[in-house]
Amino acid sequence: MRYDIVIIGGAIVGSSVAYYLREEGFTGSIALIERDPQFSQAATTLSLASIRQQFSIPENIRLSQFTLKLFRQLKETFGADADIGFREGGYLILAGEAGLRILKANHEAQIAEGADIVLEDAGQLARRFSWLSTEGISAGAYGRGGEGWFDAHALLMLFRKALRERRIDFITASATGITRQGSRVTGVALDNGETLEAGIIVNAAGPNAGKVAALAGL
């Protein structure tokens, strides 16, 4: 079997890579390899499944904003039944005197990207959160919108379901080897004895990505 793109790991990163390849108009063949289609050990399903805008670099903030837009358009994207139980609730990140400079710098980066985060001093925080002891707190950054939590397994299943209509071959197997010709990867060996020829391999193996890279000698 030959595929233009072989994706190793079918959880949120692998499945969304396959999904957006099709959304962007890629018409070549795609195989999505997953060793555990129940996702019992995937970071995706074991995560806390929260989304925040409070990062320190623009790239991370933009990734979250891209995902937030998807959450807000979930039903238009995946159908009227689509529901990931998204509940908006802001992160509250606190700093004492020592962390104040970093908190302010992060806040400036977030505001520059249009994130709805407020920076408040201890007095303002005490008025907003009556339960909060502000002893030792200089300031806090709070997400007024665009942050919260959701059902990551449900989100993953929406991507996987959408992929079934997009000509993706789902392969249940473990990738156990990667072949190379010089600096190019050429194929993936599976634990069922098959080998897939590959134009491009995407390593979406999550915490196992280092081991998968090592299969290619990287």
Binding footprint of ligand FAD on the chain (CB under 6 A): 8-14, 33-36, 39, 42-44, 46-50, 174-175, 204-208, 212
Shortest Å, Cβ 41 to ligand FAD = 6
Distances (CA, A) of 109 to 57, 60, 61, 101: 7, 11, 9, 13
| The residue type at 23 | E
Closest to ligand FAD by CB, 66 or 136 = 66
Shortest Å, Cβ 1 to ligand FAD = 16
Shortest Å, Cβ 130 to ligand FAD = 26
Distance CA 188, CA 213 (A): 12
Closest to ligand FAD by CB, 96 or 210 = 210
Q: Which residue sits closest to ligand FAD, CB atoms considered? A: 206
* 162, burial (CB in 10 Å: exposed 0-12, middle 13-18, buried 19+): buried
Shortest Å, Cβ 42 to ligand FAD = 3
Closest to ligand FAD by CB, 47 or 195 = 47
Distance CA 198, CA 174 (A): 16
**Helices 58-72 and 100-112, axial angle in degrees (round to 10):** 50
Closest to ligand FAD by CB, 47 or 96 = 47
